[in-house]
């Protein structure tokens, strides 16, 4: 497992940190590019966990943070800069002949869905804790772009997520031609679970990652290429 930290140039005056982890076997099964939630950074615990599991399964994995987090700010950048950052990262880290899967948590996954809908050269998008609307305000739905996504799309959210009920998320996902929805029972927007559930946060991470790998095998990769995923 080979890991390197590097900079991706977004604009002449703007760059962001990225970490690329390569599997021991070549060629890689594919390339997964991940961005954390709005309040997190490149050391996002779920992203680190996801990286370990996918690299073990033979994927190259790149995680990055946005300019506002690079600068130590709390307020996210304008949507146009977030989208531009995603596009520059994809262009910088793509691997010849490898399928590209993009995704992330919450807002950063939502921006991944924007660039997928805009026709970015990606093969699939995986959206964890998709923020369909602000908590308690379902009238402000962030789904108008979803029907333009033409690649397979995975929506994986907790059943206690206040940014989208399971029913709301399923309805939004139904507008995507190749959508799959996987509910994480008892998890909230941060994938935390109640002690009474008998599960831990890492149990939720494991379930989400296990389903992701299964989805990649059946919906994204050729079965011959994916026969050894675990």
Q: Which domains does the chain have, with CATH numbers?
A: 2-220 (3.40.50.1820)
Determine phi and psi for 44, rounding to 5 degrees: -45, 125
For 66-82, write each residue's pLDDT tens digit: 999 999 999 999 999 99
For 78-125, write each residue's pLDDT tens digit: 999 999 999 999 999 999 999 999 999 999 999 999 999 999 999 999
Cβ neighbours for 106, distance < 8 A, ≥ 6 positions apart: 37, 38, 128, 129, 130, 131, 163, 189
pLDDT of residue 222: 66
Q: Look up residue 180 and give its two tokens.
A: 């799959």
pLDDT of residue 224: 42
Helix pair 201-215, 45-56: axis angle to 10 deg: 40
Which residue, among 195, 158, 153, has the nearest Cα to 46 in the 3D structure?
158
pTM of the model: 0.94
């Amino acid at each position: 497992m080979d890991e390197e930290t590097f900079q991706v140039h977004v604009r002449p005056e703007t760059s962001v940190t990225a970490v690329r982890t390569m599997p021991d076997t070549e060629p890689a099964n594919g390339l997964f590019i991940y961005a954390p939630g709005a309040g997190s950074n490149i050391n996002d615990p779920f992203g680190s966990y996801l990286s370990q599991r996918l690299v073990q399964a033979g994927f190259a994995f790149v995680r990055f943070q946005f300019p506002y987090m690079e600068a130590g700010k709390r307020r996210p950048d304008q949507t146009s800069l977030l989208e531009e950052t995603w596009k520059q990262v994809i262009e910088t880290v793509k691997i010849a002949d490898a399928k590209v899967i993009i995704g992330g948590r919450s807002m950063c996954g939502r921006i991944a869905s924007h660039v997928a809908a805009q026709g970015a050269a990606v093969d699939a998008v995986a959206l964890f804790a998709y923020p369909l609307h602000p908590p308690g305000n379902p009238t402000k739905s962030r789904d108008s772009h979803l029907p333009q996504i033409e690649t397979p799309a995975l929506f994986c959210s907790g059943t206690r997520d206040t940014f989208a009920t399971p029913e709301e998320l399923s309805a939004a996902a139904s507008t995507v031609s190749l959508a799959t929805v996987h509910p994480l029972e008892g998890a909230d927007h941060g994938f935390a679970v109640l002690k009474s559930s008998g599960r831990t946060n890492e149990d939720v991470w494991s379930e989400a990652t296990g389903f992701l790998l299964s989805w990649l095998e059946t919906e994204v990769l050729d079965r011959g290429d994916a026969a050894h995923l675990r």
